[in-house]
Structure 1
Amino acid sequence: MTSARATFVFDGDCAFCSACARFVERRVPTAAHVVPYQFADLAALGLTVEQCEQAVQWVGPDGTIAAGPDAIAKLLGSSNAAWRVAGALLRPPPVRAVAWPAYRWVARNRDRMPGGTAACAVPQDRRPAT
């Protein structure tokens, strides 16, 4: 898929994820389309439901895909200078080595995060491996 606009995909059934997406829409100026995977054309984006259930996804205008903290780094990198710095800080391998386990921990516990609800809980059999 190629498009003039990047797309950031999140789980719209999760209140915590939706609250984070609203924060992005309010505070992170980006041209990226921020959309719940439940309302996205996943096939056109080159994504699967399974990928989207595991982590947020970034699909660049050139069709490149990033997931989890790598997707967040890409999203921040598409914003203004201050947010680009934050995105750049997530990219070095030592930071990514810590960011992925932290991301997985948050994903497993998103029902306990601020704004999270019982509906945010990922069933045990679908939780990402640590």
Structure 2
Amino acid sequence: MERSTFVYDGDCAFCTRCAEFIERRIPTDVRVLPWQFADLAALGLTVAECEEAVQWVGADGGRAAGPDAIARLLGASTVGWRAAGAVLRLPPVRLAAWPVYRWVARNRHRLPGGTAACSLPQEVRERLYGPTGGPPTTA
């Protein structure tokens, strides 16, 4: 792989807003893309992993999820953001970050920019909205 990849849930408005913030404010050469448009097999990821948490796949093949993935993303940026990533990797901070991350993931449909679709598993979203998040197709 030529460069690292940060994968998020593109069907979730809250997650998409966060990804847009990353692209606007965090200078990095990391690819930031929704898992729905990623080649998950090439990245070594599954739909279940991507539904559970954001994912990091490093150019070196290293992988991380949730706040660990966010820490890696920050670590691939400029000095200030790298410092934030280093703090996120500190054992006591990392220990606290996972429960906070899980709470945010479970409640993302209630957060600013979130929608009801954010709370649905991919299987249900596909039934309701079709495989790409658009209207369902009829045969």
Q: Same fold (TM over 0.5)?
A: yes
Match of 2:96 among 78, 95, 98: 98
Match of 1:37 among 35, 38, 61: 35
Moved beyond 3 Å, runs of 4+: none
**5+ unaligned residues in a row in structure 1: which ranges?**
124-130
Within 2, Cα distance between the matches of 1:59 and 1:17? 18
State the Cα RMSD in Å.
Answer: 0.7
The reply on whether 1:87 has 2:85 as its aligned counterpart is: yes
Q: State the secondary structure of the residue aligned to 1:109.
A: helix
The reply on whether 1:26 has 2:24 as its aligned counterpart is: yes
Mapped contact 1:10–1:56 kept (Cα < 8 A): yes
Q: Which amino acid aligns with 2:91?
A: P
Quote how far apart the aligned CAs of 1:122 are: 3.6
Within 1, Cα distance between the matches of 2:68 and 2:109? 22
Listed one character per residue, the Cα deviations across residues 1-49 of structure 1 (whole Å, up to 9, x for unaligned) are xx12000000000000000000000000010000000000000000000
Match of 1:17 among 7, 15, 18: 15
* Structure with higher RCO (Cα < 8 A, 6+ apart): 1
| Identical-residue share of aligned pairs (%) | 71
Q: Which amino acid aligns with 1:82?
A: G
| TM value normalised by structure 1 | 0.91
- Show the 5 A alignment for 1:37-76: 37-76=35-74
Q: State the secondary structure of the residue aligned to 1:66.
A: strand
Q: Which amino acid aligns with 2:64?
A: A
